[in-house]
Amino acid sequence: MKYLVTGAAGFIGSYVCSRLCDQGHDVIGLDNLNEYYDVALKHSRLAGLLTLANFKFVEMNLEDREGIASLFISEQFNRVIHLGAQAGVRYSIENPMSYVDSNLVGTMTILEGCRHNNVEHLVYASSSSVYGMNPKVPFSVSDGVNHPVSLYAATKKSNELMAHSYSHLYGIPTTGLRFFTVYGPAGRPDMAPWLFTDAILKGEPIKVFNHGKMQRDFTYIDDIVEGVIRIQDVVPTATPDWKGVDPSMSHAPYRVYNIGNNQPLELSVFIDAIEKACGVVAEKIYLPMQAGDVPRTYADVDSLTEAVGFKPSTDIYKGMDNFVTWFREYHA
């Protein structure tokens, strides 16, 4: 089949493109290569993909209405995996309009492309941040998510609502994936694994927010990609007898799933895994929680397991060892 993968130079997107190409599909990877973080890392991820005969890269903004429309018409994609977005909870506090352009307008152009070109399945990235300050754990896709604590989370919740409206109005099968704290080789420089590893290897102190009591459902990149690849083959259908109780499904061909490790860890354990991988004990500066953050994330993945027969399970010590090994090689 022919796939469009947005965010192809991003962390998750580059892995997904690679897996689809390995399976023999034709993949068009789209990214705008913005400067939210070091563009050299994005080019590094793309370098391996560009050697593949069944991969083609297109540099374009998601909010380019005419460009995206033309791309859909000329390529006639069978399926779309929409991972491109302006990421970052903290960045959204200072730069809100970039999230409107990329995450709201950009998702709208993708939905319109799917609508007018008979795309058989749209899979798109949501986020665990939509759960906000939800006190109930683990976070379930059957929970309400109406109280986001960052604009980034609000745009991701909006994407789910936009997708549902298109599933309802036009019968487009859509699947939203709420990712939980993804990490691994080639991960983002603005995320804790990179920031902590970089500081520890340089002998610099690390900032530990909420005094190390933050809990995150750290999920290794290979587990995330396995979930994405499996779920894109599970094309949702309408649920005629839906009673409105479970918001993760609908009378329309619409589904939402969590992808997380189902095993939240305190930040202190995460740091211990990095320290062991680096062979260095970090100097720590303990600070209160930052605006826009939540104290914990914890994924209920029962519906994902039921749908695809897979549950993320990579151990944090193994995963961080892989990351630190990559990090040393990349900077060498």
**Catalytic positions:** 152
What's the alpha-carbon Rg for the chain, to the nearest Å?
19
Residues contacting residue 49 through CB under 8 Å, at least 6 positions apart: 8, 14, 17, 18, 21, 29, 55, 57
> What is the spatial distance between Cα 265 and Cα 165, in angstroms, rounded to a whole number?
36
> What is the spatial distance between Cα 232 and Cα 11, in angstroms, rounded to a whole number?
18
Q: For residues 27 and 20, is the Cβ–Cβ distance under 8 A?
A: yes
Residues contacting residue 35 through CB under 8 Å, at least 6 positions apart: none
Closest by Cα among 293, 282, 129 to 207:
282
Q: What is the largest CA-CA distance in the chain?
A: 59
Q: How far is CA 297 from CA 140, 158, 214, in A?
A: 11, 20, 9
Both tokens of 134, joined, read 């939800």
| One-letter identity of residue 152 | Y
Closest by Cα among 209, 73, 93 to 148:
93
> What is the spatial distance between Cα 171 and Cα 103, in angstroms, rounded to a whole number?
22
CB hemisphere CA count around 26 (13 angstroms): 7
78: number of Cβ within 10 Å: 16
| One-letter identity of residue 95 | N
DSSP calls for 227-251 = HHHHHTTS-----TT--SS-TT--S
Report DSSP state, residue 102: I
Distance from the first to the final alpha carbon of the chain: 38
